Amino acid sequence: MTRDPRYDILFTPLKIGPVTTKNRFFQVPHCTGMGYIRPRMLASMREVKAEGGWGVICTEYNSIHPSSDDLRHVSASLWNDSDIRAHRLMTDKIHAHGALAGAELWYGGARSANMMTREVALDLDSMPNSVGHPFQTRAMDKTDIRNLRRWHRKAAIRARDAGFDVVYVYATHGYLLANFLDPARNTRSDEYGGVMENRVRLVRELIEETKDAVGDKCAVAVRFAADEQVGEDGIPITGERRDMFEMLAPLPDLWDINIADYGVEMGVSRFTKEGALEPYMGFVKSITDKPVVTVGRFTSPDTMVSQLKRGVTDLIGAARPSIADPFLPAKIEAGDLGAIRECIGCNVCYSGDSLGVPIRCTQNPTMGEEWRKGWHPEKIDPKGSDTRVLVVGAGPAGMEAARALGQRGYEVMLAEATRELGGRVRREATLPGLSEYIRVKDYREQQMLKMPNVEVFRESQMSAQDVHAVEADHVVIATGAHWRKERFNGNRYVSVTPDGADAHVLTPDDIMDGRMPDGPTLVYDEDGYYLGGVIAEKLRAAGLDVTYATPADVVSQWAENTSERWRVRSHLMKLGIEIELSKSLTEFDGKTARLACEYGGTVTDLKVRTVVMVTQRKTNDTLYNDLITGAGGDRAKLPFTLSRVGDCDAPAIIAAAVYAGHRYARELDAPIDSDEPLRHDRVDVGETPEGSYLMGRT
């Protein structure tokens, strides 16, 4: 296969100031949960993208000084020379594949409370911390501004010395520089506040000083928001942004344009579709002749070409598409579009940053595991034996296990009880807003179709006897889980209906199977992720009066980590769904649902006809248990190896099921040392801890 000439434009080089990118694929800065804490993992992860054809690969936000520290969210840093060495690990690897490396310099201001360094954060005024820490900033005086400019300049020089080709001035996302630009926030009375010329002064100075510091070797990019805020129904309020942009337009070598609201810019697919920033980009290219990059969760090469040809942007910016498929450019280049692992827009990747743990991805189970497990997104060791593997269940876990085993060359049989493959993603993709989840199935199905050594058996509900009849050498059970009607009371699963009667109690499985309630309904959410809200939306769309209740203090608590919680709640409110927070469902008799307040037990009675329990799941482990029981309780007595993966092992998010299936495939005939299952990336103090500490300060 070769590249379709329609896509040639994506592979044309572009000059960006003093450097030239070989193509138009630009991995914009994105957080990874690795940053300065896990430099080896980070370097290998970015290297894989360079290998996969991205022309420019950027860091996450790079703190320029200890008074800008975001832990537990892990940033990169450019504080001292040891940071230069850490970044070198990455830039050398990126350059080895002919790509450019970019560093985004960052100062958090009122968004960083500096919980690790304990330095006082600086901002334009004594402002409250904007992400909820009870710490205010120090209002910057002239000395502070001079210091900031010096720190920025020194960080830029370090970036240059670390081998970066592009250095960013980061003026968006509510961080310090965005505040200086903002007419609503910047009420300073000196030459850095008031009229627009004054508010852009600091950004202008930093662009000029960064150019002066690195401009003959590195391009200087500016990240800038095309809007001030998102208005009603997503209509951007651009305010004076156009004039501001006009003022700064000639200064940098590259404009990286996004929007002020991160929750929309990086919106989940439920609310935000591919190319969503285009309406905001209207004025940008008409004002500057400097190269422009923007994002839009682009996975379709046709959309990318259209963006370039219509002059919306010059470079295809991507964070999530490059995470889901680090080889996206290489696959377009090779004309192998069916092999692209398209991002599903779930934002599980972002949860790594939210939780301060390494990045993971629903579609790409190797993401974050490149260094510590040696996993590559496209390459895998050949099979370790001429054996046959039976995979039972074609949900995310079973499909990924079968696909990766097939890639290794094993003879694989995938048996699925239903006609359609996909398991939970096939079912959930029918719910409001989740249609892109089907990509988890589509990618794997496409790949398996190309593998003569993988056979798929549909409508094959397997019993223990059936499994034995296959005479496989290895059997992996991936039969998933189903939603319970009970709830977990902190100690055990309990029924909410008197005497355990389950009349009018439904689960998400019932709703997905088309069994709908027919009167006022309570959706009771103990799961705390996206499904409770999605089920409530589906019932509301069917014309029902719906109340959403949860024992948590907020709607969709875990969705905070995927940056969608705020949008979920505002969406439910807009739909007219009533919300009850901090309340546990204690009883439902078919007419009244009794909710007890988590703080003191005050009871609220709701008159409803049906309750949908979105609580916990029960593993579908009958087959697994039958096989073990049949062997007298001793797995070793079976004529095949037996394993279970995914939700039938331990119910969790889709990403965990894909990962479990992949891991099974990797480790078959390649046992790992279970005492040391992965390489440990952390500061190595060497023989003399004191010496190492001093080294860190040089």
Q: How many helices (H) and strands (E) does the chain have?
A: 23, 32
| Residue 388: CB minimum distance to ligand ADP, A | 17
- Return the C-alpha torsion angle 344, 348, 354, 360, nearest 10: -120
How far apart are the C-alpha atoms of 160 and 150, rounded to whole Å?
A: 15
Residues 600-659 that bind ligand ADP (CB under 6 A): 620, 623, 646-648, 657
Place of tokens 């495939």: 665
Told to check if 174 binds ligand ADP by CB under 6 A, we report no
Q: Do 223 and 104 form a contact (C-beta atoms < 8 A)?
A: yes
* Contact of residue 377 among ligand ADP, ligand SF4, none (CB under 5-8 Å per partner type): none
Distance in Å, CB of 434 to ligand ADP, minimum: 14
Among 346, 505, 608, 627, interactor with ligand SF4 by CB under 6 A: 346
- Burial class of residue 314 in the structure, from the number of CB atoms within 10 Å of its CB (0-12 exposed, 13-18 middle, 19+ buried): buried
Which is closer to ligand ADP, CB of 8 or CB of 420?
A: 420
CA separation for the pair 320, 318 (Å, rounded): 6
Q: How many residues bind ligand ADP (CB under 6 A)?
A: 26
Whether the Cβ atoms of residue 257 and residue 286 lie closer than 8 Å to each other: no
Q: Does 347 bind ligand SF4 (CB under 6 A)?
A: yes
Least Å distance between CB 524 and ligand ADP? Answer: 21
Compose the 441-470 pattern: x for residues touching ligand ADP by CB under 6 A, - for all others.
-------------------xxx--------
Which of these ranges, 197-205, 345-353, 446-454, 478-486, lies near ligand SF4 under the rule CB under 6 A?
Answer: 345-353
Q: Give the tokens for residue 506.
A: 């439904």
Give the binding-site size for ligand SF4 (rule: CB under 6 A): 13
The entry of ligand ADP, ligand SF4, none near residue 615 (CB within 5 to 8 angstroms by kind) is none
Within 360-419, the residues that bind ligand ADP by CB under 6 A are 392-398, 415-418
Tell me if 512 contacts ligand ADP by CB under 6 A.
no
- Does residue number 489 form part of the binding site for ligand ADP (CB under 6 A)? no
Only one of the segments 164-172, 249-257, 341-349, 380-388 lies at the binding site for ligand SF4 (rule: CB under 6 A); that segment is 341-349
623 binds, among ligand ADP, ligand SF4, none (CB under 5 to 8 A by kind): ligand ADP
Q: Which does 395 bind (CB under 5 to 8 A by kind): ligand ADP, ligand SF4, none?
A: ligand ADP
The verdict on 563 binding ligand SF4 (CB under 6 A) reads: no
Is 175 marked active-site? Answer: yes
Residues 396, 346 contacting (CB under 8 angstroms): no
64 makes contact with ligand ADP (CB under 6 A): no
**Closest separation between CB of residue 189 and ligand ADP, Å?**
59
**Footprint on residues 36-55 left by ligand ADP (CB under 6 A):** none
How many residues are listed for the chain in this entry? Answer: 698
According to DSSP, the β-strands at 603-607 and 592-597 are antiparallel
- Which residues, listed in sequence order, are joined to residue 545 by a DSSP beta bridge? none
Work out what residue 392 binds among ligand ADP, ligand SF4, none; the CB cut-off runs from 5 to 8 Å by kind: ligand ADP
State the binding partner of 647 from ligand ADP, ligand SF4, none, CB within 5 to 8 A by kind: ligand ADP
Please report whether residue 31 would count as binding ligand SF4 according to CB under 6 A.
no
Residue span binding ligand SF4 (CB under 6 A) among the ranges 98-106, 115-123, 344-352, 393-401: 344-352
**Residue type present at position 214:** V
What are the backbone angles phi and psi of residue 523, rounded to the nearest 5°?
A: -100, 115
3-state DSSP assignment of residue 645: coil
Q: Which two tokens stand for residue 274?
A: 């591919």
- The residue (of 78 and 623) whose beta carbon lies closer to ligand ADP is 623
Among 345, 358, 423, 532, binds ligand SF4 (CB under 6 A): 345
CB 342, min distance to ligand SF4, A: 8
Q: Is 536 helix (H, G, I), strand (E, B) or coil?
A: helix
Q: Characterise 323 by phi-psi region: left (phi > 0), alpha (psi -120 to 50), beta (else).
A: alpha
| Interior angle at CA 249, CA 247 and CA 253, nearest 5 | 145
Identify the CA nearest to 562 among candidates 528, 511, 518.
528
Q: Is 111 in the site for ligand SF4 (CB under 6 A)?
A: no
**DSSP string for residues in 362-385:** SS-TTTT-TTTT---SS--PPPSS
Q: Does 527 bind ligand ADP (CB under 6 A)?
A: no
Q: Which of 175, 410, 624, 659 is catalytic?
A: 175
Q: Which two tokens stand for residue 589?
A: 């008799």
Based on the shown chain and the rule CB under 6 A, indicate whether residue 424 belongs to the binding site for ligand ADP: yes
Query: Residue 71: how many CB atoms within 10 A of its CB?
Result: 17
Q: Which amino acid is at 77?
A: S
Binding letters toward ligand SF4, positions 282-311, x by CB under 6 A: ------------------------------
Tokens of 336: 């192998």
Q: Which of 85, 36, 33, 82 is nearest to 682 (CA)?
A: 36
Contacts of 246 (CB under 8 A, 6+ apart): 287
- What radius of gyration, in Å, describes the C-alpha atoms of the chain? 27
Say what the alpha-carbon torsion angle 464, 470, 474, 475 is, to the nearest 10 degrees: -30
Q: In whole angstroms, how close is the CB of 437 to ligand ADP at the nearest point? A: 11
> CB 470 → ligand ADP: shortest distance, Å?
12
Q: Is 480 in the site for ligand ADP (CB under 6 A)?
A: yes
* Distance, first Cα to last Cα, the chain: 51
Interface residues with ligand ADP (CB under 6 A) are: 392-398, 415-418, 423-424, 460-462, 478-481, 620, 623, 646-648, 657
Interface residues with ligand SF4 (CB under 6 A) are: 320, 323-324, 343-349, 361-363
- List, by residue number, the catalytic residues: 175
